[in-house]
Amino acid sequence: MSIATDTFRNGVDTEKMFATLDLIKAQPELAKFRFRATNRWIDGSHNRSTIQGFYAAGGEDTTRGEAFELDAGEPAILLGADEGPNPAEYLLHALAACLTTSIVYVAAARKVELTSVESTLTGDMDVRGALGVDDEPRNGFERIGVSFRVTGNAPEEKLREVVERASKRSAVYDMVTNGVPVAVEVTTD
């Protein structure tokens, strides 16, 4: 029993984690993933994404028994009815979630037992850009602020190192800070 207990740290199966890393080192072609979302407009500012399958490790991953459904909306001031968080808020959530999971995984790999990870994210936007009123302000956030509070059984310096390493490995942090090429196709029938 103690072996099983020792394997899990921060809720992460570290034995499985290191086995996964070894496998991907040995067979890099298994590292090619493709994530997907389908979205459907419902009415006004309300639309819904469905997320379930994805391609991973050489084949379609069908382990998810049910699809996730995510509703997006807008608040009244942006002409919606709060049908869900708005898209820019979803982006803040994606960033918070990715940094947090990265912190938890990096800590698990480095034998740091965390007791809490909390964060507050803010995104500043001049909505004249997105509303098309003025070309000068950009459409998206001018800047994003992330404030983490991380506690665990390690000295402050070690905890800060974990956050720094996690930022350097977070998929969404990379995308949000550096951008990603996006290709848009349209059909109309």
Q: Scanning residues 104 to 133, which ones bind its own copies (CB under 8 A)?
A: 104-105, 114, 116-133
6 vs 151, beta carbon nearer its own copies: 151
- CA–CA separation, 110 vs 144, rounded Å? 28
127: Cβ–Cβ under 8 A, 6 or more apart, which residues? Answer: 78
Pairing of strands 46-51, 54-56: unpaired
d(CA 95, CA 120): 11
Q: CB of residue 125 vs its own copies: minimum separation in angstroms?
A: 5
Q: How many CA atoms lie within 13 A of 137 on its CB side?
A: 16
Q: Mask of contacts with its own copies, 61-100, x by CB under 8 A? A: x-xx---x-x-x-xxxx-x--x-xxxxxxxxxxxxxxxxx
User: Which is nearer to its own copies, 2 or 152 (by Cβ)?
Assistant: 152
Please report which helix (H) or strand (E) contains residue 46, including its range: strand 46-51
Q: Which of 3, 4, 44, 153 binds its own copies (CB under 8 A)?
A: 44
Q: Does 171 bind its own copies (CB under 8 A)?
A: yes
Interface pick for its own copies out of 4, 5, 34, 111 (rule CB under 8 A): 34
Using CB under 8 A as the binding rule, whether residue 174 contacts its own copies is answered as: yes
Q: What angle do CA 72, 88, 131 make, to 5 degrees?
A: 95
Interaction between residue 27 and its own copies (CB under 8 A): no
- The only residue of 6, 113, 153, 177 in contact with its own copies, by rule CB under 8 A: 177
Residue whose token pair is 């994805």: 54
CA 161 to chain centre: 20
Residue 146 amino acid letter? V
Among 37, 110, 111, 153, binds its own copies (CB under 8 A): 37
Q: Which residue among 6, 47, 111, 153 contacts its own copies (CB under 8 A)? A: 47
Q: Which of these, 123, 119, 139, lies nearest to 85 by C-alpha position?
A: 123
Contact between 15 and its own copies (CB under 8 A)? no
Is residue 18 involved in binding its own copies (CB under 8 A)?
no
Among the listed residues 7, 110, 112, 137, the single contact to its own copies using CB under 8 A? 137
Could you tell me the smallest distance in angstroms from the CB atom of residue 133 to its own copies? 5
Q: Which residues are CB-contacts of 108 (< 8 A; sequence separation ≥ 6)?
A: 9, 10, 12, 14, 17
